[in-house]
Amino acid sequence: MLVEALALSAVLFSIGVIGVLTRRNAIIIFMCVELMLNAVNLSFVALSKLYGAAGQVFVVFTMTVAAAEAAVGLAIIIAIFRHVKTVNLQNINLLKG
Amino acid sequence: MNPALIPEGAHPLAATVARFVWLLPLLPLLGFLINGTLAMLGAAKVGPADPSADHGHGHGDAHAQDDAHGHGVNGHGAHDDHHPPPRHKFAGIVSLIGPGVLLAAFGLAVACFLAMRGVEMEHPYVVTLFQWMPVGDLHLDASLLLDPLSMTMVLVVTGVGMLIHVFSVGYMQDDPGYPRYFAYLNLFVFFMLTLVLGASYPLLFVGWEGVGLCSYLLIGFWFSEKANADAGKKAFIVNRIGDFGFLVAMFLMFANLGTLDIGRVAAKAAELPFGGVVITAMALFLFLGCTGKSAQIPLHVWLPDAMAGPTPVSALIHAATMVTAGVYLVARASGIFSMAPVAQLTVASVGALTALVAATIGLKQWDIKKVLAYSTVSQLGYMFVGVGVGAYTAGIFHLVTHAFFKALLFLGSGSVIFAMHAAYHHTHNHDDAQDMRNMGGLKQYMPITFYLMWIATLAIAGIPLFSGFFSKDEILASVFARVSHSTLAESSLLGIPGSTVLLIVYGIGLAVALLTAIYMTRMMLYTFHGPNRTGEGERPHLTEAPWVMTGPLVVLGVLAAIGGWINVPELLGAIGPVGGLEHFLEPVVGQASLRTTLGAPPHVAHQTELLLVGAAIAIAITGIAIAVWRLKPAALVPKKEAPASTGISRVLENKYFVDEGYDAAFVQPTVSVSRAVLWKGFDAGIIDGLFVNGSALLARAFGWLGSQLQTGQVGTYAWVLLIGVITLLGAFTLR
Amino acid sequence: MTAFLSSINYNAWILPALLLLPIVGALGLWVHALLSAKDPADKRWREVRVLAFAFFVVEALISLGLWWSFDPAAAGWQAAVDLPWIPQWGVRFSVGIDGIALTLILLTTLMMPLAVLGSWTSIRTKPHAYYTLLMLLTVGMLGVFVSLDLVLFYVMWEIMLVPMYLVIGVWGGERRLYAAIKFFIYTMLGSLLMLVAILYLGSAASQAGGVPTFSYDYILNNVRLDPTTTLWLFGAFALAFAVKVPMFPFHTWLPDAHVEAPTAGSVILASIMLKMGTFGFVRFALPLFPSAAMNPTVRSLIIALAVIGIVYGALVALVQPDFKKLVAYSSVSHLGFVMLGIFALTTESVQGALMVNINHGVSTGALFLLVGMLYERRHTRMIEDYGGIAKVVPIFATVLTIVSLSSIGVPGTNGFIGEFLVLVGSYKTQPVAAVISATAVIFAAAYLLWALQRIIYNKLSKPENEGIKDLNWREIGLLVPILAAIVWMGVYPKPVLEKTEMAARRLVTYVEATSANTPQTASNSAR
């Protein structure tokens, strides 16, 4: 059971990484980041069986932070969209020297 | 010899009028200041407070205000009216002050001369005015040195100078730059007096460069013509090449003798090894300075061009005084030259060569002033032959008589040009007023000038009893006397024994005497004899110049005729003091002369001397006869109809193409190498381009490399991160 | 005069006052800027230039007392003031002058009002900033001349860099940014190495005495280093100064900076800032490291560079189409004379070098002022755009001729005295160098007279030149003191020579004696 859960977590995490690296749409990248977070959550939960409840606590903690992050991140993306009418990251290079 | 031994107050001259010797240079300086101020007041129009307010668009008044210096006699400005332009508003006071200060200075000079006759002049009289450069071992004072040599020069400078100032009042009367002209002329006299009176070589050098500066300003007096400005600049730069030699000579003196004071240098120079490298180098570098100032080969090229200046300037600066400064310097430094026979032979040879080259060029010139210019170069060569062989008195004697007859010739030619120009001015003709092919037959229009110029011509040709005869004869006799039994005869130049060199110099001297008689007679024939070629319309306007101009000519005529009687040889003891100038100058140059002739006065057998004099007279008469016989003034045509000359005439007319040669060999290479190689190639290319901007580029290249690591693309960073993680993981797991 | 000065205890406060006053002046301008903020721009720049001029006149007047209070016969530092500044590091506010510094201080304070008058009508944008920068520049320049503490010296050396950078960069010509950055980086590069050397000297001094100090006198008398270190330290100082002089081949920032700077900037750059380099050699590089400076290889190298600079500067000046650039390259030539004189190390040549320093300040400063005046009228510096203008601007032509003659070194002007002394003195120790350098008298005449001819002589052929107005009273007034100085120092240079004599003599005897005591330096470096 543990092995399957960890394998699923690894697959999800890899999908998230590949998504972050290859996609250009800010929303999708954002969702991939969430995916990576949740993959980590999954492995926390799976490993709590072995190492105690601390893993479960950490998941709650992560989900709280992820919620805050989602709020701020989506707000920024919306702001950027209002500003440049796109969420394609390749076109958002105003800060580049 | 050492002036330091005689304190200023103890000198016998200190009790006489000579203690006011400092007034001599001061008077012309005052004249310069007043005339210069008037010139500025007359020409200047102070600008508006804000100069950038309205620029760019032309104002007509600039034209009208000062229609330039083209109105001058030599200028070719366009003239619209027959009436002379109104005289300068300060002309009256300037005419008073300009010649006035010279008259005062001349009076003082005569007074000093009389005072000097009354005392024993064993030591020079040195008056210290103030400390000039007291630095380290160098104790330079602003001191004036009055001795028979400087006295002679002062008399010539102020006397002839005064006459030329008076002449200029008439000659320059209509020039818009009238006060400026007299300011420059006064300044010139100031510097010339500083030159001859300076008691140390640096002070002499101040005068030396100062006269060069005035020469520059006066040659380029009508600066709106590019040719005139070019000529002035050329004179200054060529002179500076000579000045470089003078400077190096002073370095040598200071390093080896520890002083630059004229008297002390002479005393210390005698302690150096005779004929040694140091003393010879010193003398040769001094002579380089002389070749510049006195227009000797190879630096003779500036003097003919200098004729671009007003003619009285040519008379004063480029004939009578400044160009003879080199001769004066050799006589002044006789203590150095007499210690270096090789240098003396060089001086004499260069002098002889210059005399010959210039005389041949003089044969084929058409511009009346150019003939006189080459004649001056040639006669200066004569003087250098004199001072070169250690006959300092003879050289200075020729300097004096030359000042008389050459000033007369130049002023006479000035009077001719004045008449020609006035005639052309009346008919709006733009022909060349100085070309002899446009003259001819002027004797009936300007008889006074005609007779006076013939006197000068006979004097320069060496006809007996005229001034030039005595001085030229003495130089030739001195050369001959030193062929045997002198330090020169025992020395050698470039492997040729000294006696042979002297014989060649003597032969050249005779040849030059012949050529001089020919080209001077040619000039007189073409100018004054034969039919007139000026033009039908112009002929009635040819007249004698006003008295303010002919007056000085008459005085100079008298001097040119009898000026030689101040120093007559024993043969003609009946007409004047035997060796008068010789005795006068003896305290200054006597010792040095005797050193060259091995302690005994030069002696030539009586019969030989008679033979030599006879030969010289015969040559002079032959020369005049050849010219009269061969030249046909009647066959000449005006300049614009004359065909271009060919062959040897063309070479002579173009002065052996020396100017072109110098231009191609020195001037152009310097400019183009400086521009293409030094500036554009080395400075802008290698130093600035390669090193300075190159290092900047290198820094930029590194910066660019660095900036490539920070593209700002988060994706790139993430990839780098991932690769890093995988690498690390791989490294840990595969270990 | 002397009695009056001592009655007000002049020597005790004059140097700090001279350094402080420009800061007060800058604050004054700031107050004016605040008060006049609502005034029209035209009124503001007219008012502020008067304020600035008045200030510089005051500064010049109070500095003049130094001429009388200075005792040419006394040996030590004069008007010295010594206050603690950064006690932890042993850095002190220590100032004082000798004859060399005296002449340069007076040159600075007297040229500054003239420089302000020179930019009287041409600076109209940001006038407050401009004059404030000039004042800060004055602090830096005077500070360099008076500092007797190495850190203080370094601070002052860097302080003057910034205002000049801004003056060129903001009020300069078309390529001003390039010129300003080049100037800044070039000078900075040299002086950073000097900072390292100063820190090394400071630590060596602390080790020698047990207490931290950067005092010039202490280091001079007590710090003894091994020959190799001396050579390195000398090199660091020499590079900083050589860039500033500028010596060939570190000179290429100069033409750009000169050409692009506004008139006052060029004048200050030429008259005063170039003197920092030669002053540095005389005050620091030679006395602190005599054995390195007199090392035959080093000495011949520097003399060779000086001689190359003299001839090369003159030849390159000959072919410049831009008059300002011509004057800039002529500076390279003149400063070469100074370097030759210093390193020939005879009393005559060093005195001559100091004289050339001042003469160059006066004559070249005047040339830049004159170019500025012409530029203001015709907005071109190209020689070929002029010709024959002596006819329309006779006063200008006369002044330009006199100043050029002074720059050429015609006797009777100041230029001759300096060059003559340098050459005649140098010949004693460096005959070949002196003879080669003497050829510059020919080239100097060639480049300046040629330019002069093409600007003021020849035919007045360009119609746009016919309307050029002659100098106005302000310009005449500012040139008259310069002309007076040119003639005065040419005819009667004794008062100036007298002031610098003691310092020059001491330098020569000290360096000769010290370098003779350590003969191993030469052999060490030869290996």
Closest CA to C336 of C394, C418, C452: C418
Strand duo C78-86 + C91-97: pairing: antiparallel
Cβ distance of B710 and A21 shorter than 8 Å: no
C416:B52 CB<8 A: no
pLDDT tens per residue, range B648-689: 878 887 788 888 888 888 888 888 888 888 888 888 888 888
- Those residues with Cβ within 8 angstroms of residue A49's Cβ, 6 or more apart along the chain or in another chain: A2
Please list every residue in chain B whose beta carbon sits closer than 8 Å to the beta carbon of residue A17: 722
Q: Contact B303/B373 with Cβ under 8 angstroms?
A: yes
Most confident of B54-58, B86-90, B547-551, C297-301: C297-301
Give the mean pLDDT of C100-121: 91
pLDDT in tens, B466-495: 888 888 988 998 898 888 888 888 888 888
Give every CB contact of residue C517 below 8 A, 6+ residues apart in sequence. none
- Which of B114, B119, B126, B151 lies closest to B9, judged by CA? B126
Cβ–Cβ under 8 Å, residues C135 and C116 = no
pLDDT tens digits in sequence order for chain A, 97 residues long: 789 999 999 999 999 999 988 888 889 999 999 999 999 999 999 998 888 888 899 999 999 999 999 999 999 999 988 988 888 877 776 665 5
CB atoms within 10 A of CB C178: 16
Domains parsed from chain A with CATH numbers: 2-88 (1.10.287.3510)
B564 to A28, B92, B463, B499, B552: CA distances (angstroms): 119, 37, 12, 29, 19
State pLDDT tens for residues B112-166: 999 888 888 788 888 888 888 888 888 888 999 988 999 999 999 999 999 999 9
Q: Out of B710, B711, B719, name the one closest to residue A21 (CB).
A: B719
Most confident of B54-63, B247-256, B633-642: B247-256
Average pLDDT over every residue of B8-16: 79
Angle (deg, nearest 10), helices B392-426 and B447-461: 150
SS (H, E, C) B254-271: HHHHCCCEHHHHHHHHCC
Spatial separation of the C-alpha atoms in residues C24 and C31, rounded to whole Å? 11
B74: pLDDT strictly greater than 80:
no
Are the C-beta atoms of C316 and B674 separated by less than 8 Å?
Answer: yes
Query: Which pLDDT does position B191 carry in this prediction?
Result: 94
Q: How many CA atoms lie within 13 A of C351 on its CB side?
A: 26
Instruction: Output the pLDDT for position B187.
Output: 94
CB under 8 Å to B221, separation ≥6 — which residues? B69, B72, B177, B180, B181, B184, B228, B309, B310, B313
Mean local confidence (pLDDT), C480-490: 93
DSSP, collapsed to helix, strand or coil, labels residue C33 as helix
CB neighbour list of residue B479: distance below 8 Å, 6 or more residues apart: B348, B385, B389, B391, B502, B505, B506, B509
| pLDDT band at residue B56 under the 50/70/90 scheme | very low
pLDDT at position B70:
38
**Which residues, listed in sequence order, are joined to residue C93 by a DSSP beta bridge?**
C83
Alpha-carbon gap, residue B242 to B295, rounded angstroms: 10
- Subunits with 3+ C-beta pairs closer than 8 A to B: A, C
Instruction: Write down the pLDDT at residue B53.
Output: 61
B58: nearest CB among C376, C466, C473: C466
Q: What pLDDT, on a 0 to 100 scale, did the predictor assign at position B483?
A: 86
The pLDDT, as a whole number, for residue B88 is: 77
User: Cα(C504)–Cα(A80) distance, rounded to whole angstroms?
Assistant: 72
pLDDT tens track for B275-303: 889 999 999 999 999 999 999 988 989 99
Query: Quick one: pLDDT at residue A73?
Result: 92
For residue C125, give the amino acid letter.
T
Interface contact flag, B722 A96, Cβ < 8 Å: no
In B446-564, the DSSP E strands lie at 492-493, 496-497
3-state DSSP of C160-190: CHHHHHHHHHHHCCCCHHHHHHHHHHHHHHH
Residue type present at position B294: S
Mean pLDDT across chain B: 85
pLDDT digits (tens, 9 = 90+) for B444-474: 888 889 999 999 999 999 888 888 888 898 8
pLDDT at C479: 93
| CB spacing of B671 vs C319 below 8 angstroms | yes
**What value does the mean pLDDT take over residues C178-195?**
89
Supply the pLDDT for residue A96.
58
> What is the model's pLDDT at position B54?
52
Nearest to C316 among B237, B248, B674 (CB): B674
Confidence (pLDDT) at B676: 82
- C neighbour chains, 3+ CB pairs within 8 Å: B
Say whether pLDDT at B263 is over 80: yes
Does the pLDDT value for residue C525 go beyond 50?
no
Whole-number pLDDT of residue B678: 83
pLDDT of residue C211: 85
C442/B136 Cβ within 8 A = no
In angstroms, the CA B576 to CA B569 distance is 9
Confidence label for C512 from pLDDT (cuts 50, 70 and 90): confident
Q: How far is CA A24 from the centre of its chain?
A: 15
Instruction: Grade residue B28 by pLDDT with cuts at 50, 70 and 90.
Output: very high
**Would the pLDDT of C519 be above 60?**
no
* C253 contacts C187 by C-beta, under 8 angstroms: yes
Flag if B135 and C421 touch (Cβ within 8 Å). yes
Q: List phi, psi (to 5°) of C99.
A: -60, -35
Q: In chain C, what is the straight-line distance between the N-terminal and C-terminal CA atoms, in Å?
A: 57
Report the SS3 class of residue C131.
helix
Number of CB pairs < 8 Å for B and C? 212
Would you list which residues of chain B are within 8 Å, Cβ to Cβ, of chain A? 707, 710-715, 718-719, 722
pLDDT of residue B83: 53
Question: pLDDT tens digits, residue range B83-94?
Answer: 556 677 788 888
| Residue B171 to residue B164: CA distance in whole angstroms | 10
Give the span between the Cα atoms of C499 and C496, in whole angstroms. Answer: 5
Interface test with A, best of B714, B716, B717, B720 (most A CBs within 10 A): B714
Which of C469, C497, C498 has its CB closest to that of B47?
C469
* pLDDT of B86: 67
Is a pLDDT exceeding 60 seen at residue C439?
yes
* Token pair recorded at residue C190: 């040299």
Gap from B62 CA to chain C (nearest CA, Å): 6
In this predicted model, what pLDDT tens digit does every residue of C335-375 receive, in sequence order? 999 999 999 999 999 999 999 999 999 999 999 999 999 99
pLDDT at B166: 93
Look at residue C280 in the predicted model and tell me its pLDDT: 93
Matching residue, tokens 């040879």: B349
The per-residue pLDDT for C518 is 55
Contacts 24+ apart (CB under 8 A), C85-90: C85/C149, C85/C152, C86/C151, C88/C212, C89/C151, C89/C202, C89/C212, C89/C214, C90/C202, C90/C206, C90/C211, C90/C212, C90/C213, C90/C214, C90/C215
Choose from B713, B717, B723 for mutation: most chain A CBs within 10 A: B713
pLDDT score recorded for residue B713: 72
Distinct helix (H) and strand (E) counts, chain B? 28, 4
Joined together, the tokens standing for residue A60 give 């709650």
